[in-house]
Amino acid sequence: MELLVWVKGAGDLATGVAHRLHGSGFKVIMTEIPRPTMVRRTVSFAEAVYEGRWQVEGSTAVLVKGINEIANVFKQQMIPVLVDPAGQQVTVLRPDVLVDAIIAKRNTGTHRNLATIAIGLGPGFTAGVDVHAVIETNRGHYLGRVILNGTAQLDTGSPSPVEGYTRERLLRSPAEGVFVPCVTINSVVQSGQTIGFVGGEPVNAGINGVLRGLLRGGLWVHKGLKLGDIDPREDCLEHCFTISDKARAIGGGVLEAILYLQRHSS
């Protein structure tokens, strides 16, 4: 596959998409903001923005300073990550495929004339209008479905239940300020345990479980921002370091959409 795919965003869902496409032989480039705030950062190629390079399940992403470095990264069979919030640099490359994986619940500027094939993840896009296809991101019967006309399901505003827990699983900032964690991802935590601090105020766990995701320390956060999530299942330790079933399903939907649209446009 010599198709060049531009994935906007490099969080955990975007990483699931990029990992599947990269493994299928596509040339994938990802773009991010200067200080990304992903929670499931162990499985997010956006960590390359901070660390220089990041590996997820055998695939490696490398931070590049400009488009002139991309070809060399491709030669090494790796994924370039470029800090380019508006996508101004990457449009020079004229990608064959654009995947908007920001998961902003709205369209922040993606349109069909940016690439031969444009795909949007989740709500905020309309297939046949601003993109060629939309991929369903809501958990349930239709997760990963390719939508060629219309929109994805609306955001429920609530995380999917795990053993009956929904909002209780999430850690949110109690105030505005710098987040200072005092535990790490993959830690087993107890309800009421302090996970970190924001502006001197504690962030406490709401349930017992495994800390599956946690925002990078030192970032300035606003009140209510998601800082982490807890998985109540006892056997989920390895899940902290592997792509989720949701991200894999969405990645499969993107792959299907590309192949379908490529075939039907020729």
- Please, what's the b/e burial string for 102-129 (b: 16 or more CB within 10 A of its CB; e: otherwise)? bbeeebeebeeebbbbbbbbbbbbbbee
Residue 234 — very low, low, confident or very high, per pLDDT cuts 50/70/90? confident
Domains of the chain are 4-155+245-265 (3.40.50), 167-232 (2.40.50.100)
**C-alpha separations of 80 from 2, 59, 65, 144, 206 in Å:** 16, 11, 10, 25, 38
Q: Which residue has the tokens 């499969």?
A: 252
SS3 (DSSP) at 190: coil
Neighbours of 6 (CB within 10 A): 25
> pLDDT tens across 124-170, in order?
999 999 999 999 999 999 999 999 999 999 987 778 888 888 899 99
| CA–CA separation, 87 and 242 (whole Å) | 28
What is the CA angle 92-96-98, rounded to 5? 85
Distance between terminal CA atoms of the chain? Answer: 15
- Tell me if the pTM is above 0.85: yes
Residue 243 burial (CB < 10 Å; 0-12/13-18/19+)?
A: buried
> pLDDT tens across 7-25, in order?
999 999 999 999 999 999 9
What is the CA angle 17-21-22, rounded to 5? 115
Tokens found for residue 20: 């599947």
Beta strands in 79-214, from DSSP E residues, in sequence order? 79-83, 97-100, 117-121, 133-135, 146-147, 170-172, 177-181, 188-189, 194-198, 201-204, 209-214
- Dihedral angle of Cα 95, 101, 102, 107, to the nearest 10 degrees: 80
Residue 1 — very low, low, confident or very high, per pLDDT cuts 50/70/90? low
H/E element holding 5? strand 4-8
> pLDDT tens across 190-213, in order?
999 999 999 999 999 999 999 999
Residue 266 — very low, low, confident or very high, per pLDDT cuts 50/70/90? low
